[in-house]
Amino acid sequence: MTILLYDDAIRALRENDVPILGTTGATEENIKQIQVRLGVSLPPSYRKMLSDFGALEFGTKEFYGWLSQGIDAKFATNVVYTTERERCDGRISGAMVPFLTSGYGPFFVIDCTEIGLDGEAAIYEVSPAGYERGKDRVADSFGAFLIEEVDRVLQTRDDGHEFEEEITSPSPQRTRRYWKERAKDFE
């Protein structure tokens, strides 16, 4: 099901003429290397993104993934480099894989400890201070998260704000919810 959500998201981008940028698609061997290095089993919809695009960019969204420079590339968009750095800093657990920054502090991770029957993992928004300071579940899978991001980009474009800085800003409701939840970190 979530592979279908992933496919629907990519199809929607193409049908709406949103430019999609990728790096070099990862091979099955590349994906195995990533999983071994990170010590996790990546969910099917994220593996499909790695295979199709390597790293994915559309609108102002830049999803971390595989780069043509290989597993040791020292770039923020290399999912291995970013994951190892965030783990070393204690901002994520050993089973989390970051794949996108919010643009307003928090970042998004795949939590590979929460695997559903379909093999998909939960997606969390993590506090800039790290997962122990706060995390909110935002989607049941990478595919479900991706379709929401695509819908947001398309809606913003339909509102006349094609890929302007404004679209990276969260809604006032999301900002209020975020800071209300973060206030609990200091109680």
Q: What is the pLDDT of residues 35-63, one digit of tens each?
A: 999 999 999 999 999 999 999 999 999 99
d(CA 142, CA 150): 12
Residues 169, 102: Cα–Cα separation, whole Å: 9
CATH topology for 2-186 is SMI1/KNR4-like (3.40.1580)
pLDDT at 32: 98
Q: What is the mean pLDDT of the chain?
A: 88
133 pLDDT tier (thresholds 50, 70, 90): confident
Indicate the length of the chain as a whole number.
187
- Please give the torsion angle defined by the CA atoms of residues 125, 72, 63 and 61, in that order, rounded to the nearest 10 degrees: 110
So what's the pLDDT on residue 170? 59
Cβ 91 vs Cβ 106: under 8 Å: no
How does pLDDT run across 146-185, given as a tens digit for each residue? 999 999 999 987 766 555 444 455 556 666 665 666 555 5
Residue among 63, 65, 66, 45 at smallest CA distance from 119: 45
pTM of the model: 0.83
